[in-house]
């Protein structure tokens, strides 16, 4: 996993073993740089063969293995993605 805003390219880090880009490209990265490497471009890179599907499968397997190993699929509180509330979950 990358540090926040530390990934400055898409294909090379993925091929080197980076499984997850933090915090993701949806909000923060495009606001700061105007462009994100790990949202649509990661998909394009898999589709055009720059990143092998096996590498994507490996990343997904490792991310989900930790999710299940830590029991986050059973009785785990729902995350709260709304920073405008004091609610712990939902």
- Asked whether residue 87 carries a pLDDT value surpassing 70, the answer given is yes
pLDDT at 23 over 90: no
Residue 2 lies in a domain: no
Report the pLDDT averaged over residues 44-50: 94
* pTM (predicted TM-score): 0.70
Report yes or no on 86 lying in a domain: no
Range of the domain at 19: 11-69
b/e per residue, 46-62, with b = 16+ CB within 10 A?
A: beeebbeeebbeebeee
Kindly state whether residue 77 falls inside one of the protein's structural domains: no
In a domain, 82, yes or no: no
- Catalytic sites, residue numbers: 3
Could you give the number of structural domains in the chain? 1
The yes-or-no verdict on residue 73 having pLDDT over 80 is yes
Comparing C-alpha atoms, which of 2, 32, 47 is closest to residue 20? 2
- Could you tell me if residue 85 is inside a domain? no
Closest of 32, 10, 12, 31 to residue 21, by C-alpha: 10
């Amino acid at each position: 996993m990358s540090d926040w805003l530390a990934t400055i390219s898409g294909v090379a880090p993925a091929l080197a073993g980076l499984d997850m880009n933090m915090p993701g490209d949806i909000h923060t990265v495009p606001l700061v740089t105007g462009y994100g490497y790990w949202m649509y471009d990661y998909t394009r890179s898999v589709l055009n063969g720059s990143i092998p599907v096996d590498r994507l499968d490996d990343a997904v397997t490792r991310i989900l293995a930790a999710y299940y190993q830590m029991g986050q699929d059973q009785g785990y509180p729902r995350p709260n993605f709304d920073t405008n509330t004091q609610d712990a979950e939902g």
